[in-house]
Amino acid sequence: MLLEILKAVLFGVVEGITEWLPISSTGHLILVEQFVKLQEVSPEFWGMFQVVIQLGAILAVVLLYWNKIWPITKNKKEAMKQEGILSYFNKDIMILWMKILVACIPAAVIGVFFDQLFEALFYNPFCIALALIIFGIAFIVVENFNQKRKTQNWKETNTQITYKDAVIIGIFQLLAAIFPGTSRSGATIIGGLLIRVIKTKCC
């Protein structure tokens, strides 16, 4: 029992480190599981474990960015120009949430219909290792490309980012939904760099 707890802690450490980097946390968990296996667990349990283990990192992100994502405000200048309950909501943050939802649509739709197919085809160590290598190279290529581009016309606020931009970023996130080993944050960063939403170095 103690050994299994230590294994779970190891998975938690791997998840905690990789979640904050533009590399695939799920892909690394699957690779580590090839060498450190939890005993007597079903495939269903392992699949749920990979999801639940990310909860800590997600809560940490929510805590860090709480002030930027919480939509309710008492500042009338920031609030939506509407009567009733809508007058308590920050307009810019509500727009941000709408664009986040739009960006999630491509991966959500494709995932619902093809999740089992993708899992059967790509959830193996070879495909994961290949995706890690390809995206590592993609980061280098995109950053070198960006250094040669002109610096004007970059979009720095969520109001400058259009819904079209959100859809494009969502399509890049779709790569992570299809290919394990492809980082969701990494795919988002690469998409953002290419459409001039992000201009700082990603790593």
Express each pLDDT in 135-148 by its tens digit.
888 888 888 887 77
Tell me if the pTM is above 0.85. no
The arithmetic mean of pLDDT across residues 62-84, rounded, is 82
d(C-alpha 13, C-alpha 17), whole Å: 6
At 37 the three-state DSSP class reads coil
Q: Where are the domains of the chain?
A: 1-64, 74-203
SS3 category, 180: coil
Looking at the predicted structure, is the pLDDT value of residue 102 above 90? Answer: yes
d(Cα 10, Cα 2) in Å, to the nearest integer?
12
Helix (H, G, I), strand (E, B) or coil at 79: strand
Question: Region 41-60: what's the mean pLDDT?
Answer: 85
Residue 38 DSSP label: P
153 or 84, higher pLDDT: 84
